[in-house]
Amino acid sequence: MMPYPFRASLFAALLLALASCGGGDTTAEGDELSEGGEDDGWGDDWDDEDPEVESHHGAVESLGISGPDQPWDDMNAEEREWYMIGKVLPIMKELFAEHDADRWGSGYGCETCHGDDMQAREYAMPPTASYRVPEPGSAAWTSMEGIFGETVTFMAETVTPTMGTLLGEEEYTCFHCHPRAE
């Protein structure tokens, strides 16, 4: 059974997710029923248009950038998965979209960081197909900064410290997410 603080965080994250989906109206008398002929409470009487979702708070503001209620190493696989889905993914998706909406405004998901083979690799980090990062301070690092300056700054000043905080890792580096260049 999950510890109470973790369950409370998970419950809060799930409420946030439900609220951001616009919720669902219960089926009123006379509305169409689900395919099985029973009222499933999901309001199946809507047309094929996507519902309008109005959100006044982003994930960072709603969830906060803070570490897990229990150490990452003490979590089991299910607790880690829920934490990643309920907190890490929404926050990182928001940060990446704010940095480059054209590239990250849609399509950001678990595969973005863990790779297409994430399940086979049991979500191990760093993924094998990720950009290989040279040692900081090396000539290759300086070259990378010259080519990808804005991205390197974003990763160093936003992504790395945020992920370190979210995972409760004080010494979080580029190499937690990227393989080392040789």
122-178 tens-digit pLDDT: 888 888 888 899 999 999 999 999 999 999 999 999 999 999 999 999 899 998 889
Q: Could you give the percent of the chain with pLDDT greater than 70?
A: 69
Three-state secondary-structure class, residue 22: coil
Distances 56 to 16, 42, 61, 146 between C-alpha atoms, Å:
11, 24, 10, 37
Distances 109 to 27, 29, 95, 118, 141 between C-alpha atoms, Å:
32, 38, 13, 11, 27
In the prediction, which pLDDT does 30 show?
Answer: 47
Task: Enter the pTM of the model.
Answer: 0.66
Distances 128 to 88, 131, 151, 152, 173 between C-alpha atoms, Å:
21, 9, 20, 20, 17
Are the C-beta atoms of residues 167 and 96 closer than 8 Å to each other?
no
Residue 34 has pLDDT above 50, yes or no: no
Report d(CA 18, CA 12) in Å as an integer: 10
In the prediction, which pLDDT does 62 show?
Answer: 81
In the prediction, which pLDDT does 182 show?
Answer: 78
For the ranges 20-24, 55-59, 68-72, the one whose mean pLDDT is highest: 68-72
In the prediction, which pLDDT does 165 show?
Answer: 94
In the prediction, which pLDDT does 129 show?
Answer: 82
pLDDT digits (tens, 9 = 90+) for 45-56: 555 565 565 555
